[in-house]
Amino acid sequence: MQHILITGGAGFIGSTLGDQLIAEGHQVTAIDNFDPFYDESIKRKNISNLLDQPNFKFLEVDICNMEMLTEQLQDDYDAIVHIAAKAGVHASIQNPIGCQQANVMGTQHMLEIAKIKNITQFVFASSSSVYGVNPDVPWLESDQNMMPISPYASSKLSCELLGHVYTKLYGIRFLALRFFTVYGPRQRPDLAIYKFAKMIVNNQAIPMYGDGSTRRDYTYVDDILKGIKAAIKYKDTEYEIINLGNFKTVSLMEMINTLEEVFETKAIINQLPMQPGDVPQTYADISKAKRLLGYEPNTSFKEGIVQFREWMLASQIDKA
């Protein structure tokens, strides 16, 4: 049994990871500050079933508050999974300073916690957005042609470099996992699949930015979690950047058509111009993840949408 510290532990990925780690017999401490980016009640519901678990502890802590972190994090931890961040590409354009503070300074604080408490395994949730408008797809971790086009993307790239510093200075094993458009049950309500599905079932027009040809490498949450859990156990090298994607791309129009098929409702489309910060495509080369982590995503896009639909209807989100 390991004791895993998860930041952003009440969010979409963090709470689902907590569920699985507790089910597998580990001890979990989750921290979250309930950032108002979306409704706090959603996050509290995410962890409601965990609060009664004897091996689970939840702390309401802000990663930007170093004093609070050092005061509250009193236990010994085997690994940190750092997911907490100011989310959203478009939100980061509206509030670049807040994004920088939460994402970069917050990550530095967590690396300091790792240094102070001698936690030598640090798994960082990076993002495919760091590749930006790099046209050379599928994207490889070794590619030096980084072209981020949002403060969010640049903050994640800065955090990867910070991790390298702490590896070299303090011997902290740092694994930056570049997530590619994670979706599934508990997905954030601002993300397209959640937002579009809710609009479709309520017969509301969905905003389609561009002509529907933009493409995303959608990755089902359970596949992402396999990669995270493998990274927690990884010991072979000290610093790695690893793509976690699906090695398949789905166009925006294909995504809408799949939602229509699974929800058995025709979408009403309101076509709009492309938004600042949007990239034309994301596409992961996952050969490194397969080699180092044994990573093998096996959920098709439609299968994942079916699972999302079951959760969404069971949660009565369509009525919200």
Active site residues: 152
Q: CB–CB of 1/26 below 8 Å? A: yes
Chain-centroid distance of CA 163 in Å reads: 17
Sign of CA dihedral 305, 307, 313, 319: negative
Classify 296 as helix, strand or coil.
Answer: coil
Q: Which residue has the tokens 């800065």?
A: 158
Helix or strand run (H / E) with residue 79? strand 79-82
No. of H helices and E strands in the chain?
Answer: 12, 13
Q: What is the C-alpha to C-alpha distance for residues 304 and 299, in angstroms, rounded to an integer?
A: 6
Q: What is the C-alpha to C-alpha distance for residues 97 and 99, in angstroms, rounded to an integer?
A: 5
Q: How many CA atoms lie within 13 A of 101 on its CB side?
A: 8
